[in-house]
Amino acid sequence: MRVPRGKNVFFALILSLVAALLVSACAGAVGDAGSQGSAGSPGSPGSQGAAGSQGPGGSQGPDGAAGPGGSQGSAGVEGEQGPEGDPAPTGYRDTNRNGPPRITVAPFEIQVGDTGIVVKGSGWAPRVSITVEIIRLFWARAQVSRSDPEGSSTFVFGGGRANDSGAFEIMQANGDPFPEAVEIYLDELGADEAVFTVIARSSEGEEATFPVIVRRSAVPGSITVGLKEIEGSGQSGVASLSNVDGQTLVVVSVSAGPAGASQTIHIHTGTCDASGGVEHALSNVEGGSSSTTVVITLEELLRGGQFAINLHDAADPSVDTACGNITIP
């Protein structure tokens, strides 16, 4: 039986090894090493090695697309109600008004002491209350309060109410005469007349004005001045002042002084309580009477300021026995 060649080689190697061991055991001398046999055939593949360690992570990829929006949240708590606004204006903006408010005054020339003055108005809001005042355009410095110049120089004429068509008529209150106090202002101006403003105001804030001329009171043709006794002098009487041909006739009649006495008498500036200097000398009083013509009209005398008639003591002219203020009645 024929053994394959490859196996022969293998058996030969084994036999050589056994022989060598026997020789060594017999303590023989070691022979030279035999030549190396040829390489055996490759063995079968080994088993697979263990897995290597994981490598480092890769870089982060791009962001993904945004997801869908969330559902709407619940409604918040309702806030507090704000304050109520101002009510809409009425009256002044009433569409039923007939036009801009206006007034007229009759007469438009007024004299101190006049009565029956009438103020008429139209174009006002229906049924509003009306107050009519007269504002002095020229104020007496001594009479006006600096803290309230208009209020202290205003004459309240009267009041009333507009009708359904926005018209009214207001008569002078209680038929009172136009006030003499206005002459204080005319005195300061040194004039006999001045322009004043009549103003009407409504409860809705409407206003209208009208100019008027105010004159001093009329001067009568004659006046009488009472002469009052001073400090028990026993003398009193009257003085009559009359306008005669552009001059003033002054006739005095008083209770008689000492028998045969001649008493001086004058028209002084000022008043009996605050007498000033002599303005006009009159004829002496003798037997209780005197008559003098003064070269000045009665109106000029009455308009020229404050004056008084002073009767002086016969023995001591610096002492007054009777006095009377000259005023328009």
> Which backbone phi and psi does 276 adopt, to 5 degrees?
-110, -150
**Residue 59 covered by a domain:** no
Last residue of a domain, one of 166, 198, 215: 215
**Residue 319 C-alpha from the chain's centroid:** 59
Total number of domains constituting the chain: 2
Task: Classify residue 75 by burial, with Cβ atoms within 10 Å: 0-12, 13-18, 19+.
Answer: exposed
* Same-domain check for residues 232 and 318: yes
**Residue 234 covered by a domain:** yes
pLDDT tens digit sequence for 224-274: 999 999 999 999 999 999 989 889 999 999 997 778 889 999 999 999 999
Q: CA-CA distances (angstroms) from residue 298 to 13, 26, 122, 158, 318?
A: 185, 196, 44, 34, 27
* Same-domain check for residues 269 and 317: yes
| CB distance 298 to 242 below 8 Å | yes
* Same-domain check for residues 112 and 210: yes
* Same-domain check for residues 211 and 226: no
| Residue 21, beta-bridge partner list | none
Positive or negative: CA dihedral 28, 33, 38, 43: positive
Domain containing 161 equals: 102-215
pLDDT at 136: 65
Q: Which residue has the tokens 């109410």?
A: 161
* Same-domain check for residues 208 and 238: no
Q: Which residue has the tokens 């090695």?
A: 49
Q: CA-CA distances (angstroms) from residue 314 to 88, 229, 259, 280?
A: 81, 15, 11, 18
pLDDT tens digit sequence for 65-103: 777 777 777 877 877 877 777 665 544 444 455 678 999
| CB distance 144 to 152 below 8 Å | yes
Query: Which CATH number does the domain housing residue 199 bear?
Result: 2.60.40.1930
- Give the whole-angstrom CA distance, residue 197 versus residue 282: 43
- Model pTM above 0.85: no
